[in-house]
Amino acid sequence: MIGNLWHMLKQADKENYAVPAFNYSDIWDLLAILDAAEEKRSPVIIASNPLVAKQIGIEICGAFGHALMQKAKIEVVHHLDHSTSVELCRQAIANKYPSVMIDASKYDLATNISMVNAVVLSAHKINVHVEAEIGRIRGMGIEGEYSGDDFLVQVDEAVDLVEKTNIDSLAIGIGTAHGFYQGKPEINFKRLQEIDQAVRIPLVLHGGTGIPHDDIRQAIALGINKVNIGTIIHCTYMNNMREELINAGPNPYTLDVVRPVMKKIGEVVSYWIDTCGSASKSQGGI
């Protein structure tokens, strides 16, 4: 079923869990994510980054995302992740994405606010959820790159962004990074707590891959309602695909290779659902 993200995140906040958002690259990892989420009866967000959305085509992504949301027995929300383009957000909104992220965090606050407002204006007309970002997500990943030191979200800027736009959720820079971490992630939990006290909307943690279970649990306890997981999905997909192909011999058939890979992706998804505490939380009619 098509999930209502406002409701899903509110429920998560109330019951102290987070809704996991997984980045997919194509139909096979997308189906693996949905199968695992259905098995665990977890609400789930399926996210296409702009590279994937553009390569497949936003109309095609929108169409299969919509069909899969409708078919699922759990609450599913198809989300455009990290769009730095207002136009791409508008295209996603026009193609049945119930949720989009406009990431204008690399610009100054005034520009961030004005880009977010442009997306909110189109999105809220047809009940599409908008996520924005303040502070920076560090690291080098397919969903974004940032290596500077001034990543930490400022409380007054977060408040300003929320008050001057009508956004529905907020991704915050508190030390997490896209891609694999070099060493242990240093999450600024104090700042997370300050932001949670200062703004009333759901908070989003990016850069899930590599964050230890206990740190995710602490972040959820301090106000995170959505956790984004990308790199580990992409790498599990490709590394297991390589393995299967090496073992397959000449002229393998696609599905013979893909099925065991999907199983491995499913195991990763199950781990993250357990870590987020979202198993058995779907309101869907299973």
Residues making contact with ligand 13P (CB under 6 A): 23, 81-82, 141, 143, 178-179, 206-209, 228-232
Token code pair at residue 182: 């070099």
Q: Which is nearer to ligand 13P, 11 or 83 (CB)?
A: 83
Q: How many CB atoms lie within 10 A of CB 15?
A: 10
Least separation, in Å, of the C-beta of 286 and ligand 13P?
27
Beta bridge partners of 45: 21, 77
Q: What are phi and psi of 229, to 5 degrees?
A: -130, 120
Q: CA–CA separation, 135 vs 193, rounded Å?
A: 15
Q: Which residues are catalytic?
A: 81
The residue (of 5 and 41) whose beta carbon lies closer to ligand 13P is 5
Please, what is the minimum distance in Å from the beta carbon of residue 256 to ligand 13P? 28
CA distance 226 to 13: 9
Nearer to ligand 13P, 141 or 277 (CB): 141
Task: Characterize the bridge pairing of strands 144-146 and 138-141.
Answer: antiparallel
Residue placing its CB nearer to ligand 13P in the complex, 91 or 236: 236
Q: With H, G, I as helix, E, B as strand and everything else as coil, classify residue 142.
A: coil
Say if residue 280 is exposed, middle or buried (CB neighbours under 10 Å; 0-12, 13-18, 19+).
exposed
Kindly state the smallest distance separating residue 161's Cβ from ligand 13P, in Å: 18
Could you tell me the smallest distance in angstroms from the CB atom of residue 7 to ligand 13P? 22
